[in-house]
Amino acid sequence: MRLLLDTHVLLWALMEPHHLSETAREAIEDLRNEVFVSAASAWEVATKFRLGRLPEAETVVRGFQRHIETLRAVELPIRVEHALLAGTLPGNHRDPFDRMLAAQAILEGITLVTEDPAFQAFQVKTLW
């Protein structure tokens, strides 16, 4: 299975794994699964850290690449196709990071690991 971690799932996996559902934790740890972390999540974590809304993420921001490697995760860059779909997805969900993750999951055929019900509006395949 191919999995894209929502930003909160990424942070929980790195800092507070007890917040993950058993299903999510097992899927992330399963060596048969390919785990992806979006550049959008790096952008979101760094932005929220800079704004003071996520002060506990300093170590993640400072060593982001090393941290995603501990999860055996592969970086998923943002491509033009992702940006275009994110900007044109229907609905009034205003979070640009969520819209980008949804677009990437749709275009790449990846299951999004999230507990956020907002992704249902985008008809994204999710796992929690």
Residue pLDDT, tens place only, 6-21: 999 999 999 999 999 9
Predicted pLDDT of residue 10: 98
Predicted pLDDT of residue 93: 84
Phi/psi at 4 (5° precision): -110, 125
Predicted pLDDT of residue 99: 97
* CATH code of the region 2-127: 3.40.50.1010
pLDDT in tens, 36-85: 999 999 999 999 999 999 999 999 999 999 999 999 999 999 999 999 99
Q: Is the pTM of this model over 0.85?
A: yes
Domain ranges for the chain: 2-127
* The dihedral sign for the CA sequence 45, 50, 54, 55: positive
Question: How far is residue 101's CA from residue 73's CA, in Å, rounded to a whole number?
Answer: 15
